[in-house]
C-alpha cells in the first residue's frame, strides 16, 4: 500500500508487518493513484510522476506543473482524467501521454473523481454523486 502524510511525503507500507518506508526526499504529494504496477503522485506544484512500484524508478509524466490547476482527478481504464479550475474535463492516456479535452460541460463544482464498477463518477461540493458518461 502507498500513502501520503499530512506534509505530502510519500510512503510504501507493508500491510503484513505494518512497517513503512519513505520513498524519496523530494515528494510534496497532494494526491496519489495506482495503475498496473505504477504509482502516480500528483505534486503540489502540479507535476505528475510515474513511479514503478517494484523498482522505485520514477519519471515526470508530462511537463513540470502541467496539472497545477487540477481540482479533481483519477485514473480510469488507463486514462488520467482531470477537472481543471476552468471546469473542463480532460483525458491523458497513461501510455502515450496523448491529451484530449473531452467535454465542454462545466465541472467547477466537482471536488472528487473516482473509478468504480467500470465507470467514472464525480462528487460535487454539495455531496451530489453522479456518473460521467464518457461515450
In a domain, 20, yes or no: no
In a domain, 64, yes or no: yes
CATH value at residue 53? 2.110.10.10
In a domain, 17, yes or no: no
Q: What is the Cα–Cα distance from 113 to 121, expressed in whole angstroms? A: 6
In a domain, 90, yes or no: yes
Please check the confidence at residue 106 and state whether its pLDDT lies above 90. Answer: no
Please check the confidence at residue 117 and state whether its pLDDT lies above 70. Answer: yes
The overall average pLDDT reported for the chain is 89
Q: What percent of the chain has pLDDT over 70?
A: 99
* Structural domain count, the chain: 1
Mean pLDDT of 65-76: 94
Please give the residue range of the domain that contains residue 92: 29-132
In a domain, 37, yes or no: yes
Mean pLDDT of 40-50: 91
**DSSP-assigned letter for residue 62:** S
Instruction: Identify the pLDDT of residue 25.
Output: 67
Residue with cell 462528487: 123
All residues at 6 or more sequence positions from 68 whose CB lies less than 8 Å from its CB, including other chains:
45, 46
In a domain, 68, yes or no: yes
3-state helix, strand, coil in the chain (%, to 5): 0, 55, 45
In a domain, 52, yes or no: yes
Please check the confidence at residue 45 and state whether its pLDDT lies above 90. Answer: yes
The whole model's pTM is what? 0.84
Cell of 83: 477537472
Q: What is the Cα–Cα distance from 58 to 66, expressed in whole angstroms? A: 17
Of 22 and 68, the structure prediction assigns the larger pLDDT to: 68
Q: pLDDT tier at 54 (50, 70, 90 boundaries)?
A: confident
In a domain, 112, yes or no: yes
Instruction: Identify the pLDDT of residue 57.
Output: 81
Mean pLDDT of 21-50: 86
Amino acid at each position: 500500500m502507498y500513502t501520503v502524510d499530512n506534509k505530502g511525503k510519500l510512503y510504501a507500507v507493508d500491510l503484513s508487518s505494518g512497517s513503512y518506508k519513505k520513498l524519496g526526499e523530494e515528494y510534496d504529494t497532494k494526491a496519489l493513484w495506482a495503475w498496473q504496477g505504477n504509482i502516480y503522485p500528483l505534486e503540489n506544484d502540479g507535476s505528475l510522476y510515474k513511479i514503478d512500484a517494484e523498482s522505485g524508478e520514477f519519471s515526470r509524466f508530462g511537463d513540470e506543473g502541467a496539472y497545477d490547476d487540477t481540482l479533481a482527478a483519477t485514473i480510469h481504464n488507463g486514462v488520467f482524467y482531470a477537472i481543471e479550475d476552468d471546469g473542463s474535463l480532460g483525458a491523458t492516456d497513461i501510455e502515450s501521454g496523448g491529451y484530449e479535452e473531452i467535454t465542454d460541460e462545466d465541472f467547477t463544482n466537482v471536488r472528487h473523481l473516482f473509478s468504480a464498477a467500470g465507470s467514472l463518477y464525480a462528487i460535487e461540493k454539495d455531496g451530489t454523486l453522479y456518473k460521467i458518461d464518457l461515450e
